[in-house]
Structure 1
Amino acid sequence: MKINWAQELTSRKFWMAVAAFVIGMPALFGSDTNTTQQISSVIMSLGAVVAYIAGKGFVDAAAAGENKTE
């Protein structure tokens, strides 16, 4: 089974799974709550930016493909 990474990287479920994993690591090693909240905020912000950029890239690529056939 081949993984479609372009689709995975725009998936909100994927980013939530990554965020949950990374947020769980400081809790595992006894970090305080404030640090865990800061890490989760950064991860969610980065995930939103990456998903937006990838999504816009797919839309732009589809629009460019439509213009070439005219």
Structure 2
Amino acid sequence: MSAPNPGRQSPDPENQSESQQGTTANEPNKQGGAPSLDHAKEASDEQKSKLSSNPIHPLAEAAAEKTSKK
């Protein structure tokens, strides 16, 4: 069963304008993508190098004072 008011159909490829022909929908793998993994790995390693290996909780000192026997 067809729709009572069908929508517009795309023109044939030879009749399409440049903007219609230039879409990358036909080539989904050539649309570009995420930045190179080498740069991302370097940035991640740089961030990790700035972290301390075992950070002290802000309230750890206060908790130790409260629970210590003086």
Normalization by structure 1: what TM-score?
0.29
Structure ranking higher on relative contact order (CA contacts 8 Å, 6+ apart): 1
Q: Which structure's residues are more often helix, by fraction?
A: 1
